[in-house]
Structure 1
Amino acid sequence: MGIEQKVAIITGASQGIGAALVQAYRDRNYRVVATARSIKPSNDDGVLTVAGDIADWATAERVVAAAKDRFGRVDTLVNNAGIFVAKPFTAYTAEDYANVLGVNVAGFFRITQLAIAEMEKQGSGHVVQISTSLVDHANSNVPSVLASLTKGGLNAATKSLAIEYAKRGIRANAVALGVIKSPMHPVETHSFLNPLHPVGHMGEMSDVVDAVLYLEQAGFVTGEILHVDGGQSAGH
């Protein structure tokens, strides 16, 4: 593999936004390591799949080791895996808490440590978190304390990483989403979800892909929380 052929790791890659990101990076001639609990082997020689729970540090270690062994480097990490549980605050269970923090926080922490350690060796790299605009605009129609607790932490961590590694050629950014049309939102929910956005409709997966790819090539942008939310974070 030539030095110009970069390698991206994408979590939560078996369907929806994650699967769309895998294809988008392949279309730009990246090699991709795709991971999710239920991900199946790929017929594309440029895509290596690793099945596992990203909340388990052993999964993170297997993913980064696989990227190094198969493709020799890590250039981009997209922390796309996430769990969203909308419940009244007092209705959250210990299981909800453990599951959400496991994927959203532990699932970010270890794989990002390992990926950045590889990026440091080459003096370049990019880490992107998929977050939510609910961090910035709590909505009484969508109770979401666990989302705000975890994704808000990722937004803060993104800025901290950006500053810590600014002089080492490694950038960190996040994309804060509104509600995106994906398999997790059945069609019958769209009439409720569309009006949550000032523009009057949900986003498309292509909107997320476009935002991540913008950040990928925007070398002067780091520490940015890019809102792709139909105006939600601007006001109501």
Structure 2
Amino acid sequence: MNTREQKVAIVTGASRGIGSGLAEAYRKLGYAVVATSRSIDPLDDADVLTVRGDIADPATADHVVDAAVERFGRVDTLVNNAGIFIAKPFTEYTDDDFARYVGVNLAGFFRVTRRALPHLLRYGNGHIVSITTSLVDHANSNVPSGLASLTKGGLQSATKSLAIEYATRGVRVNAVSPGIIKTPMHAPETHGALAGLHPVGHLGEISDIVDAVVFLENAPFVTGEILHVDGGQSAGH
């Protein structure tokens, strides 16, 4: 157990891309980190605990939060980064696609957030940040995204609802709404076409999303915010 006054952040979907960048950023802020994903490997850092688990599995939320409290004694921040995105016409989504979207993007968020909240309330300065998508606010016919909007849009609504519910109880709740970010999920040969979807004409970097989350972490007067980091997508074309 962590006997110091060190804060602790849980980051879901932390094995690569934005999640890995977020885990590293919280370490630089001095936090201990509990990093979880289906395929994450242990790290040579006593202040980083890696927990393998599918966030869609109901047992994972309990496992992750219990592991955080057992190892470090507290939870101060939860970053709901885990998510899936499959672009296809709405009528081509299968029941399995729907179940996977709901399991990861919604049920995973619900279970781990519900499980973590009592710990976030304990010290009166907890923080929840969720990663959504700019397509919720700016649909694009070139990127059919009905299930992403259904599920990530739910997270944006829940962000505002929870922010108000807990506003006087010391827990802030925010979200970051990215455009298309240069991560391993996008093959290099697609970058040119994807860049054209943004008014600024280029993809975002992992550091853009990390910086936005760090800003929210250090902004005690900000709650209920959906921070768009999307190269202008949500503003228009």
Counterparts of 1:100 and 1:43, CA distance in 2:
33
TM-score normalised to structure 1 length: 0.99
**Equivalence for 1:126:** 127
Deviation of 1:3 after TM superposition, in Å, equals: 5.0
**Equivalence for 2:9:** 8
Unaligned runs of 5+ in 1: none
Q: Partner of 2:132: helix, strand, or coil?
A: strand
Alignment-mate amino acid for residue 212 of structure 1 = V
**Equivalence for 1:188:** 189
Counterparts of 1:29 and 1:123, CA distance in 2:
19
Counterparts of 2:3 and 2:137, CA distance in 1:
42
Counterparts of 2:60 and 2:108, CA distance in 1:
9
Q: Which moved more, 1:215-224 or 1:51-60?
A: 51-60
Deviation of 1:124 after TM superposition, in Å, equals: 2.1
Indicate conservation of the 8 Å contact 2:132/2:155, yes or no: yes
**Equivalence for 1:226:** 227
Q: Partner of 2:196: helix, strand, or coil?
A: helix
Q: Partner of 1:168: helix, strand, or coil?
A: coil
Q: Partner of 1:167: helix, strand, or coil?
A: coil
Q: Partner of 1:179: helix, strand, or coil?
A: coil
- Percent identity between matched residues is 69
Deviation of 1:6 after TM superposition, in Å, equals: 0.4
Alignment-mate amino acid for residue 45 of structure 2 = D
**Equivalence for 1:50:** 51
Counterparts of 1:3 and 1:131, CA distance in 2:
33
Q: Deviations over 1:74-129 (max 9, x none)?
A: 00000000000100000000111011111000110010011111112222200000
Counterparts of 2:218 and 2:5, CA distance in 1:
14
**Equivalence for 1:31:** 32
Indicate conservation of the 8 Å contact 2:3/2:72, yes or no: no
**Equivalence for 1:204:** 205
Counterparts of 1:104 and 1:5, CA distance in 2:
29
Unaligned runs of 5+ in 2: none
Q: Partner of 2:54: helix, strand, or coil?
A: coil
TM-score normalised to structure 2 length: 0.98
Alignment-mate amino acid for residue 152 of structure 2 = K
Aligned residues: 236
Alignment-mate amino acid for residue 132 of structure 1 = T
- 1:41 and 2:42 aligned: yes
Pairing of 1:45-124 with structure 2 (within 5 A): 45-124=46-125
**Equivalence for 2:147:** 146
Q: Deviations over 1:165-208 (max 9, x none)?
A: 00001000000010000000010010110010000001000000
Indicate conservation of the 8 Å contact 2:3/2:73, yes or no: no
Indicate conservation of the 8 Å contact 2:56/2:104, yes or no: yes
Deviation of 1:2 after TM superposition, in Å, equals: 5.2
Counterparts of 2:47 and 2:4, CA distance in 1:
15
Counterparts of 1:2 and 1:211, CA distance in 2:
30
Alignment-mate amino acid for residue 183 of structure 2 = S
Q: Which moved more, 1:166-175 or 1:110-119?
A: 110-119
